[in-house]
Structures are given as C-alpha cells and as structure tokens.
C-alpha cells in the first residue's frame, strides 16, 4: 500500500538544509557542533520535525473521522442503567397508594426514577419491584443492590408520593455505559459497510442500531408471513418506547419527505415491523462457597455476588443465551474470597430466542463455608 505521508526526522531536515546551503554556494559552511550556524539549523530542524510529527498524528486521526462523516456514521452515545426500586411503608396501607411514573430518588447527585407506574395496595406494606432507570448516561449509574435505601440515608425522594415512606433497590442497576469506544465503533462500521447496496439481515440490524438509544437488535425473517420481517429493538431495559420505535421505523423504512437523511434500509417489496422484545424472566438460585480461612464477611460477599450476577444477566443483549458457566465466572470474579459456586436454578443453560432478552426475576444467594 502506498504511503500517504511520511514525516521527516530531525536529522533528515538538518541534512536537507545543509545540502541546500551548500548547493546554493551560500558561503555558510561551518557546521561544527556548537557554531551559530549549526545551532540555528538544529533549532529549525527540531521545530519542523515536531510539526511534521504533529501533522502526521492529526492526519491519521482525521482519516477515520472523515470516513465516518462521509457516511454520517456518528459515534453511539452512552446509555443509562436500569434496575428496579421497591417502595414501602411501616404500617399496612389503609388505602391504595399510587406510585406514578417518574417517581424519583437522588443518590450521590444522580437521579433514579420509575419508568412504569406502581402502587401499594390496601393492606400491604410494599409495592414490589418497579422497573426503573437512571437519568444519568454513563457507568456512574451502575449501582449494587441495596445502594438505594432511604431509611438509612442512602438516597432522598425528589417527589415523594403520599403514603410512601421509603425506597430501596433490591436489584442492581446495570447497563450504564459511556460513549461508544473506538473499537466498538469500528466493528459497527464494518457491519454497516457490509450491508451497503444490499438488504441483508445485517442491514436491518444496522438501521436499528444506528438509532440513538437502541442497545441491541435482532431480525426474524418471514414474520408474521412471507415478505415480512420483524425487527426487535431493545433500549437496554428490555422495552422500547413509542418514540424510539418510531425512530427505528423511520430509519428502516425511510422518509419520503427527507430521503437524503432517511433513504431507508429495507428492500423494495419487503415489509418490516418494529417491536419490543419479550422479556424472559429467570429465577436464579446460587450458593457461593467461602473458604473457612476467608476474612470477608459472608453478607458482604453475598451482596457482591448478587450484584455481579444481576449486572451480567440484566445487560445481556437480544437473543443472547444465559450460560451458567459465565454466571459462575462473574460471581467468582466479584471477590477473591468467593471460592466456588453451586447454581441450582436454572438447572442448565437457558436458550434465549432472537425476539427475547433474559432478565432476572427472583435471585436467591446463599453461602456455605468450605475447607480444602
């Protein structure tokens, strides 16, 4: 491959200036170390070589940027974490107390809010787990279970509903990510390029993934009938808002009023619909093995194990199977004092269909003390 640009080194520039002065019969010929002429040429050569290097660095950075810009292939933004929050009161509720969408808790300056409505019904003291999301984009929104506990001062209500006294997260908030990395962007761009001038499944997946807010996507062909395909898109919570669904449909089907920005991805004669995935809720029961020589508190280790487990499962993408060996690995990686695991539920790996995402339901973590 031809070299686009080769920066000159300090010695190359210094020698070039010497040759030029000699060839022009300038009469300047005292190039001994320390002479005024030598020092002046060295200074010029050093500055020029640094400039060459800076330009070469900028050129290498500009080439991929210009390529991305030519295809309007923007870097994917960061994502918000998701989890659940449970609201409660000390005494049994004398009436039904609603918990509206957007009920919020502030923890360390970061807001966590419900994305569906809930309630504490008459005679009960708790709402059960309500799907929630962090309003902050990035990894700071990833918190372990029990990080929110307003009873002990871990978080405060923004808009405390009537009849509600406390809030706690019984499931870790996971899935928050920073802006897309260079490596991830390159991989997504390769898939995008492979789909140009064609209409493969990868093209429809690319269209969905191009929409800000979509974390994963899959395509099921001939659904609901021949000539149709269904695109499943996930925002990281296992759901798809109406606005995001509309944006994905616009990207796939195109927009006749703005065909330059939205030319569409699907082939002529093919119809595509966009749906949220089905959430496959999984009960998990695991016993962590702790050596009798370990110094860590078992309660702390169980909390770390549950956070690691929930973070792994609740960030699985569309169609990704639940692999028990990977669950065991992430649990053991949570702390050096977790020696081993015994997963009894589920009994085997769980296959997840292309239109499904796996998420945790009831997670039970126990511990056993073992010796070797």
Structure tokens at 247: 């944006």
Give me the percent of the chain exceeding a pLDDT of 90: 72
Taking the C-alpha atoms of residue 58 and residue 44, their distance in angstroms, rounded to an integer, is 21
Write the CA distances from 63 to 6, 66, 68, 190, integer angstroms. Answer: 15, 5, 9, 16
- Cβ contacts of 179 within 8 Å, gap of 6 or more: 75, 76, 77, 78
CA distance 76 to 166: 36
Residue 195 has pLDDT above 70, yes or no: no
- The Cα 2–Cα 9 span in angstroms is 19
Query: Integer distance in angstroms from the first to the last C-alpha of the chain?
Result: 59
Domain at 199-275: CATH code = 3.30.300
HSE at residue 68, side-chain half, CA atoms within 13 A, is 16
Range name among 19-28, 96-105, 108-117, 248-257 with the lowest pLDDT average: 19-28
**Residue range 214-238, pLDDT digits in tens:** 999 999 988 888 889 999 999 988 8
**Which residues in 102-136 are b (16+ Cβ under 10 Å) and which e?**
ebbbebeebbbbbbeebbbeeeeeebebbbbbbeb
CA-wise closest residue to 13 among 53, 41, 54:
41
**Residue whose structure tokens are 């990035």:** 138
- Residues 265-310: tens digit of each pLDDT: 888 888 899 999 999 999 999 999 999 999 999 999 999 999 999 9
> Mean pLDDT over all residues of the chain?
92
- The pLDDT, as a whole number, for residue 273 is 94
Mean of the pLDDT values across residues 323-352? 97
Integer Cα distance of 301 and 62 in angstroms? 47
Helix (H) or strand (E) holding 345: strand 338-345
Is pTM, for the whole model, over 0.95? no
């Amino acid at each position: 491959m031809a070299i686009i640009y080769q920066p000159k080194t300090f010695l190359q520039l210094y020698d070039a200036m010497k040759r030029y002065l000699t060839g022009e019969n300038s009469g300047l010929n005292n190039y001994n170390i320390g002479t005024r002429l030598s020092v002046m040429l060295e200074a010029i050569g050093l500055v020029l070589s640094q400039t060459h290097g800076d330009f070469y660095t900028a050129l290498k950075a500009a080439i991929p940027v210009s390529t991305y810009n030519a295809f309007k292939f923007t870097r994917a933004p960061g994502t918000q974490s998701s989890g659940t929050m449970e609201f409660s009161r000390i005494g049994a509720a004398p009436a039904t107390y609603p918990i509206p969408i957007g009920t919020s808790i502030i923890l360390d300056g970061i807001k966590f809010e419900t994305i569906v409505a809930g309630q504490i019904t008459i005679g009960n003291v708790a709402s059960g787990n309500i799907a929630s999301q962090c309003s902050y984009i990035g990894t700071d929104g990833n918190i372990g279970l029990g990080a929110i506990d307003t009873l002990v001062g871990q978080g405060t209500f923004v808009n405390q509903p009537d009849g509600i006294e406390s809030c706690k997260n019984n499931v870790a908030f996971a899935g928050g990510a920073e802006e897309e990395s260079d490596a991830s962007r390159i991989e997504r761009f390769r898939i995008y390029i492979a789909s140009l001038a064609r209409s493969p499944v990868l093209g429809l997946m690319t269209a969905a993934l191009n929409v800000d807010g979509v974390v994963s996507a899959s395509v099921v062909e001939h659904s609901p009938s021949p000539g149709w395909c269904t695109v499943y898109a996930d925002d990281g919570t296992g759901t798809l808002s109406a606005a995001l669904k509309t944006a994905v449909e616009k990207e796939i089907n195109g927009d006749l009023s703005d065909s330059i920005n939205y030319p569409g991805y699907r082939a002529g004669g093919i119809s595509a619909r966009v749906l949220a995935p089905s959430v496959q809720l999984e009960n998990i029961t695991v016993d962590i093995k702790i050596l009798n020589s370990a110094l860590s508190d078992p309660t702390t280790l169980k909390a770390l194990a549950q956070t690691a487990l929930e973070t792994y499962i609740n960030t699985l993408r569309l169609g990704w199977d639940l692999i028990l060996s990977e669950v065991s690995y992430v649990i053991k990686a949570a702390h050096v004092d977790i020696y081993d695991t015994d997963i009894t539920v589920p009994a085997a790996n769980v296959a997840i269909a292309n239109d499904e995402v796996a998420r945790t339901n009831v997670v039970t973590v126990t511990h056993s003390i073992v010796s070797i």
